Amino acid sequence: MIQRFLLTLLFLCLALRAEAAMVRVLEVVDGRTIVIDRAGSRATVTLAGIALTDEAAARTLLEWTLASTWVMLEEQPNGGAFVYRSPDALFLNRELVLRGFARATLRGVEPEQRVPVTYLGQLRPSGPPPAVEAPAAPKRRSGSGTRRRSPAAPSRSTRRGGS
């Protein structure tokens, strides 16, 4: 029983091994490169999966969103890293693409091109389609549509000649 528990714990520890590291952003070099503090030493990190289309705007966005913040880096095998801002997990590589400052060059960076749709019922209900009737002509009305009488209007008793 204890051996089984320890073996399960060992497998969980190996499976949950952290692939990404939380680091502090020190400065933004350009629209694609940041300087981080990794274990007390400065390191330069390039954002992976993007090709910049507007360098100045990308740099401004990175300075605005990453100045003195913590980020999680997910190193990519082909070089560079995916950068996620802490604590809201804003995916900076994708944010640059969404705002039009870069285009995606890796599959995981491009945003979904799916339109959110709410299903409200059957598209084609079974049975014959309902008959479409012409709208009825509105009833003719006279007057202002109120039941109140004007103060100048004579009462019924005075119109009939009553006292």
pLDDT of 63 > 80? The answer is: yes
Percentage of the chain lying above the pLDDT 70 cut: 66
What the chain holds in terms of domains, given with CATH numbers, is: 29-110 (2.40.50.90)
Which tens digit of pLDDT belongs to each residue from 17-42? 445 679 999 999 999 999 999 989 99
Question: How high is the pLDDT of residue 111?
Answer: 82
27: CB partners within 8 A, 6+ apart? 34, 35
